[in-house]
Structures are given as C-alpha cells and as structure tokens.
Structure 1
Amino acid sequence: MEELNRFYTIAFNHKRLPLEVVGKFHIDEDNQATILTALKEKLGLEELMFLSTCNRVEFFMVSKQVKTAEDILDSGLFNLSQENALIARSNAEIHFGKDAVRHLYKVTSSLDSMVIGEREIITQVRKSYEFAEANGLAGEFLRLLMRKNIESAKRVFTETAIFRKPVSVVSLAFHKLKDLNVPAEARMLLVGAGRTNKAMAKFLSKHGYKNIAIFNRTESRAAELAAQVGATSYALDQLESYDKGFDVLIACTGSESHVVSRELFDHLCGEETTPKVLIDLAIPADIEASVFDRSDLRLTHINIEELRIIAEKNLHERSQDISKCEAIVEEGIADFDQIHKERMVELAMREIPRKVKEIREKAVSTVYAKEIEGLNPESKEVLDKVISYLEKKYISVPMKMAREVMLNSK
C-alpha cells in the first residue's frame, strides 16, 4: 500500500464545522479552474480533485509530500478570518493512504452524507472528477481510483436497500414544504438554477406546483430549466424589478455573498402581508439574516441546519443496511489496490523492451562486433535469429511472471 500513501483527503464538512465556515471554502464555478490550478502549483501536487456540495468541501490530492489543512489555509486562496481559520485548522478531517481511499468511497456511496442513501452525491463526485480531468488537474492515480470508486458506489445503490425512500437535502426541504400545506397554486420564486434548484423544480412540478418563476445569473440556464418544468425564467438582476409577489422563495445560487438582501426582500413582498416560506439551501446563505427581522410578516424559514436535524433522525432508519454497504466498500478498496499495483508494475516494466533492445544493440555493434564480423553470412543469420528469440523472451517472461505474482497475491 506504499504507493497509496501519496493520496490525501482534506475535508471541511458538516460533521465537524459550522456550515458558515464550510462555505468559506466554496469556489464559484467560473473561478474554479484558475484557483484550483493555482492551488495545485502552490502545493506542488501531482493531482487534485475538488468536491463542493451544500454541506462539505473536500480536496483530494496526490502528493509525494505530507499535506495538511495548513497547506490549504496558508495558500492565500481562501478568505477566512483569523477565528474561522483557527476553527477550520482544528476541525478539518484529514485522511491519507488507504484511509483516504476508504473516505472517498464512503463519500461517493453516501455513507458519509448528511442523509445516508441520498443519490445526488455520486453524480457530484463524478462531475468533480470530470472537471479535474478536463482542466488538467487529474492524472493516472485519480483515473484508476475514480473508475473503481464509481463502480463500488453503484453496487451500494443497486445491491442494498440503502436508497429506499431517499431523503436528500432537496427532498427533505420539499417534504418540509409539503408539511406546511402550501397550496398547489402558491407563487414560487426559485433563485438559482443549479443542480439543487433543478432537483427542487422537478419535485415541485411533479407534485402539481406550476406557478414557478426561476431567476438565474445565466438566463439561458434558467430558461432551459423553466422549459422542463413549465415555469417562467428571468435573469437574476430582474429580481430587483419583479413585482408579481410570491408565497415561497427557494434560494440556492452558490454565490459567495447574500443574493436576497433585506432591501430586495422588502421589494419582493411589496404591500403583501400574507405568510411567506423562505427556503435557503445555499452555503454560505443566500438570504440575508436581517430578512427575518420582519415582525409584520409570518415567515417560515427552512435552512440547511434545520434539515441536518431532520436528517439525523433518518439515520437510524437507514442503519440496518450499513454493514452490507461497508462490506461492498471494503471489497472495492481491495479491488482498487490490486488494479493499482498491477498498473504500477506495467508502468515500471514498460522500460524493459527499450532496455533489452539497447543491450542487444551494444552487444552486436560494440562488445562482440569483431567476432560477429568474422562469421559467414549463414552463421550471422542464425545468430540474429537466436538473439531475436532471446530478446522477445527477455521482454515477455519478466512481464508474465510479474503479472502472475500480482494475481497470486490477491
């Protein structure tokens, strides 16, 4: 497992840190390639993959040097106060080697999720890798690891009952909304058209909510989602002039600052005094805290922290299948370890053909040149055949033996 010790994971997640601090490590999609490339260079990493969800930010790194949370915090790429930096430094979850592989497998299989059995995570991890690969951040190690990791996660979801009655963050929020008996004709404002609100929009449409307005920084993305669910779409800056009122506002933009300020909220409410439901699924929060100071309105606030409490109650119901899932994960780790060893042998032995050819050339043209020159044409031809035969065997036999050793070590 020595080669695996180059693999590190540094996680800032909901289990150890306030979500406000986790959100400080979020990187806007438009800036991810630039910032992650800079981080890879600053830390001297061989490979890097970045995962950011509503309740976790994780860095998966391949490096010959030991990596810690300090390396990320001291990179100068993340804007944390001294207090938050200290909290993050003290509570980061760090793994390396086989434990890091196990951690990635558990994350992808949802065994480390706020809600065990939620299926969004496998897509989020896969897309994180695809982004890393497309931007030159990932290499051979992550390629092999992710292939086996996704295979293992799929087994968890198909061979166990862990996903039955799935309760993801989005579905938790939707069920909470349903518990409030919000009528089907309610006016819905969705701020953001990313993965989370896309899933929410589909939930709403599926359950009969059709009065939906979707706002997004990229209007074409809002229009695409609106077409799928029968909603109307707007550019994000059109919120400032929107005057049709609302009953439910659902925000999840991935912005690093508040999107719904107190001033904007007051404008959206206008003269209305009817109850409002505010669902904030973003980290950091999209809705400014002062919005909830409105004493003249009955406001219902649903946020990630509240959903985490609900999720914890669901853990017990999911626990009966945990042991089977963990067994699949361990099988997947062993499978990756084996294929990784085989690949390392292949890479090490690909030099053999070149080396053998060099030895042959030196023997024929230098070491035994005079002796060979004295041979008649027939003898030279026989000698050339013998040398060619030996060359092929000296190339194939070690490779075959190495593969057999690897197979027998399973």
Structure 2
Amino acid sequence: MTIVLVGLNHRTASVELREKMALTPYGVGVALDQLRDHVQEGMILSTCNRLEIYALVEGVDAALSELDAFMADLHDMSKDQMQPHLYHKRGQDAIRHLMRVAAGLDSMILGEPQILGQVTQAFGEAQASSLTGPILSNLAARAIHAGKRARAETEISRYTTSVSHAGAILALDHVHAESPNILIMGAGEMARLAAKSLAHRDGINLACLNRTLSRAQSLAQELDAITMDWHQLEEGLVWADAVICATGAPHTVIHADIVQRSQAQRADRPLAFVDIAVPRDVEVAVEDIPGVLRFDIDDLNSIVDSNTAHRESAIPQVEAILEEENSIYYEWYHSRAVTPVIKDLRRWAVDVAQMEVDQALNKLGDVDDHTTEVVNRLAHRLVNKLLHKPTVRLRGQAAESNGHCYAQAVSDLFGLDASSTQPGVQTDQHDHHVREWVQASAQNGNGHYEE
C-alpha cells in the first residue's frame, strides 16, 4: 500500500481551468462516493487554487493512471487534455506535499491562513464519506498539527496578506476618491476577510450585497456597513468606486450590460472590479467598457511582493517543523509493521512470567498479600526491562523500512505464531488473568500505579 497524490494548482493550471475544475461541497461529496471504487482510502482537497486527490492504493503506476482519468471525468474532459496540468507524487513526496500545503508553503500567497481550514474541511468530508482509514487519518491529523505549529512558532503568517486582503489592497490602489465607496459582493469567508481588512481604515464607506439578504445584513452589522439587496446591484455599481467580488456562485453574476448601464450614471467616475472568486463573478468583457478596470485572482501576486521577504525568511523554520512532523508520521507509518509482533512478544513474556510467578507462589505456600505483590512487581519489572531494548530496536528498524524482516525473525525465534494455549497464545480467560496480573504488579503499596 502506498500514499499517492494527483493534483493541479495555480502553478500548473490557468484560472479558466481551475474554475472549471472547482468542486462545490456537494460536488466533493459526490466525487468522494465515486472515488471509493478506485482507492483503499481517499481525500479530496478542492479550493479556488487547487484540486488534489490523496489516496492509499495498491499498484502505484496503474492507480495514478486511473486517478488521472478520474480527474478528467469529473468535468467531462479527456485524459489527454487533463494530463499536462497534473502533478503526481507518491510515498514520502506525497506526505511532505500535504504538510507543505497545510503550512501554507504551497499557496499562491505564502503563508495564507485559509488553506489550513480547507485541509481540515477536506479531511472532515472524507471522514463523513467513510473514505478515510488509519493511514490517511493519521496523515491528515499530522499535517493539520504541522500547519498549526508553523503559524504559532514562526512568522509565516505574519506580515502577510491572504487572497482576500490582497484583493482589498488592490481595490484601494485603484480608487482615487478621498472617501471611497467599496461594495462587497458575497457574505462568505473570503468576502468577510476582505471587508474586515478595510473596515478598520478611516474614511472608507462599505456596503454589503448578497443574494441572501440576511447574510448581507449580518456581515454589514459586524462591519458597521450598509446593506444592499440583490435587486439593488445596479444601484450599488453606481454608488461604488470599487467592487470586491467573492460570491461563491457557480457562474458569472456581473455582466457587461449592467456595468454599461451603471457607467452611464456615474459621471465618468472610474470603477474597479477585484474578482477574487473562483469561478469568477465578473464577465471578462466588462474590461472593454471605458472607465472600468477588472482584476481577477491571477493578478494578486503583485500585491504581496513587498511582504515576500518577511515570509520567505520564515521558510527554513517552517521546513524544520515539517521535517519533524514528517519523521513522526513516517515512524508511525513504518512501526505498523512491527506493532503486532511487539504486542505478541509482550503477551508471550507476560504469559511466561505469570506461569513462573504462579509456580513460585505455590512453592512458597501460604504467603501474605505483601509477598504476592513483591513477587508480581519483580516479574513485571523483569518483563519491562528485558523487552525494552528489543522493542526500541524493532521500532528503529521499522523506521529504516526493515520492520517486516525483523518482525518475521522475532516471530520465528519466539514461536509467536503458535496455535496452542502455551505461552504466546491466549484464550479469553487467560487474557483476563494476564490483565489482572499486570494491574496488580503495576500497583505499589500506596494504592498508586507506576508511571
């Protein structure tokens, strides 16, 4: 079994292709249901800048080819059309990639905060579809933890702007009014972040417009802004000096005709559209209207140049954190090869110790509780001390990818695959007896258990 990744992002695909490939929450659920026929475990990360499938598969090359076709089929594209835009990773490279994504190192805007929540959401959606098992569950949890550490322990998300913040700055850069009017279209997270980055600035007038009026009212109340209903769109375009669009609609919502009408009422005032939505909210043709500027998400890179040096200085620290988290995950991943034999070896040792304790106590005759406890504790300590070094070395060999060979050797040497009730094989009754012995031997005279 191998972890693999097939994906596309802002580096490999144009905004046109990315908006075509973007999945709604419902679409993610449908895709996950279809994905289960192709993988052992799976997770789909769909954002405005990436679509990635993480999967646990057998037969890596065949599985990657199958996942290429799956990606193409999601939007009725041919495999040949899709492949030039895809990247493929396997094993350690796939693991490292997810951690880099969660930490914000692979984002269009380095260190942007939204991606960590999006990875968390993708994991939750895969869990809800019963498509995650121990391998991807542990990986996603480790990646999310790595992302949180990166933001808490470094400056990767300080001195930065998210896509929303960058959009707000771009809007302000292209308005010249002393007290500009900014119309926020949408009421989701992207719109809220853009609006909040403007709300603290003096002299800016904000208005919130959304298809669902109650959501626009809620956002406006939070920002001390005015509210506009959807049917007031043309009125809002006449009022605004800049429009930040982030509706999350699956299609264009601002067309050239309504912009043309609004411009006729604006007395030659320029109007700037900053479209941070994918799929885009604003029809491309509006940029041909005199006095109108249109920017989309691919124009945002220039906004963050001034902060790039600050973020890049944190990259080595973040990469050190990711290497730590990757090592922890990889050690766990490989230790799975030796965990069963370690458990069997401990059962075998406990069984042997218990039999010897029983024989010794029988030979001693009528012994008091204190003597019984001392003998049990002695046996317990001997088991722990004798097994400690072999256990550590078995896990170490597992981390070096030698776990299976060493696990098999230990199993053969100690006869751990025996099928009798001799030491190494347990019945339910015997298991209960061993648990009682372990508890008793771990308890000291004050009624407390050893750490």
**Fold shared per TM-score above 0.5:** yes
Write the distance in 1 (CA, Å) between the matches of 2:95 and 2:29: 24
Shift of 1:312: 6.0
The answer on whether the counterparts of 1:51 and 1:58 sit within 8 Å (CA) in structure 2 is: yes
Moved more, 52-61 or 316-325: 316-325
Equivalent residue runs for 1:69-218 within 5 Å: 71-74=67-70, 77-79=73-75, 86-183=80-177, 185-208=179-202, 211-218=205-212
The AA in structure 2 aligned to 1:328 is: I
Look up the match of 2:299. 306
Write the distance in 2 (CA, Å) between the matches of 1:127 and 1:81: 26
Cα separation, partners in 2 of 1:241 and 1:185, compared to 1, 3 Å = closer
Look up the match of 1:341. 334
The answer on whether the counterparts of 1:148 and 1:336 sit within 8 Å (CA) in structure 2 is: yes
The AA in structure 2 aligned to 1:92 is: L
Write the distance in 2 (CA, Å) between the matches of 1:237 and 1:46: 48
Verify: 1:36 aligned to 2:29, yes or no. Answer: no
The AA in structure 1 aligned to 2:189 is: R
The answer on whether the counterparts of 2:45 and 2:52 sit within 8 Å (CA) in structure 1 is: yes
Cα-to-partner distance string for 1:307-348 (whole Å, 9 max, x where unaligned): 124446754553333223222211111011112334565468
Cα separation, partners in 2 of 1:94 and 1:204, compared to 1, 3 Å = same
Shift of 1:400: 7.2
Write the distance in 2 (CA, Å) between the matches of 1:69 and 1:206: 50
The answer on whether the counterparts of 1:12 and 1:58 sit within 8 Å (CA) in structure 2 is: yes
Cα-to-partner distance string for 1:241-294 (whole Å, 9 max, x where unaligned): 868632221112333321212233335546223211100112232111111121
The answer on whether the counterparts of 1:11 and 1:94 sit within 8 Å (CA) in structure 2 is: yes
Cα separation, partners in 2 of 1:136 and 1:212, compared to 1, 3 Å = farther
Equivalent residue runs for 1:364-379 within 5 Å: none
Moved more, 7-16 or 182-191: 182-191
Look up the match of 1:319. 312
Verify: 1:284 aligned to 2:284, yes or no. Answer: no
Write the distance in 1 (CA, Å) between the matches of 2:65 and 2:197: 38
Count of aligned positions = 372
Shift of 1:220: 4.0
Look up the match of 2:321. 328
Shift of 1:195: 1.9
The answer on whether the counterparts of 1:109 and 1:157 sit within 8 Å (CA) in structure 2 is: yes
Look up the match of 2:56. 62
The answer on whether the counterparts of 1:246 and 1:268 sit within 8 Å (CA) in structure 2 is: no
Equivalent residue runs for 1:349-360 within 5 Å: none
Look up the match of 1:386. none
Write the distance in 2 (CA, Å) between the matches of 1:194 and 1:348: 51
SS of equivalent residue, structure 2 residue 74: coil
Shift of 1:33: 1.3
The AA in structure 2 aligned to 1:9 is: L
Q: Which has the higher contact order (CA 8 A, sep 6+)?
A: 1
Shift of 1:166: 1.0
Write the distance in 1 (CA, Å) between the matches of 2:312 and 2:236: 46
TM-score, length basis structure 2: 0.70
Look up the match of 1:383. none
Verify: 1:25 aligned to 2:21, yes or no. Answer: yes
The answer on whether the counterparts of 2:113 and 2:157 sit within 8 Å (CA) in structure 1 is: yes
The answer on whether the counterparts of 2:159 and 2:310 sit within 8 Å (CA) in structure 1 is: no
The AA in structure 1 aligned to 2:12 is: R
Cα separation, partners in 2 of 1:244 and 1:302, compared to 1, 3 Å = closer
Shift of 1:61: 1.7
Moved more, 134-143 or 213-222: 213-222
Write the distance in 2 (CA, Å) between the matches of 1:248 and 1:256: 22
SS of equivalent residue, structure 2 residue 301: helix
Equivalent residue runs for 1:5-24 within 5 Å: 6-24=2-20
Larger radius of gyration: 2
The AA in structure 2 aligned to 1:204 is: L
Cα separation, partners in 2 of 1:73 and 1:256, compared to 1, 3 Å = farther
Verify: 1:266 aligned to 2:266, yes or no. Answer: no
The answer on whether the counterparts of 2:7 and 2:86 sit within 8 Å (CA) in structure 1 is: yes
Write the distance in 2 (CA, Å) between the matches of 1:286 and 1:241: 18
The answer on whether the counterparts of 1:342 and 1:403 sit within 8 Å (CA) in structure 2 is: no
Aligned sequence identity (%): 26
The AA in structure 1 aligned to 2:153 is: E
Look up the match of 2:288. 293
SS of equivalent residue, structure 2 residue 17: helix
SS of equivalent residue, structure 1 residue 301: strand
Write the distance in 1 (CA, Å) between the matches of 2:296 and 2:273: 8
Write the distance in 1 (CA, Å) between the matches of 2:275 and 2:389: 59
Write the distance in 2 (CA, Å) between the matches of 1:239 and 1:47: 45
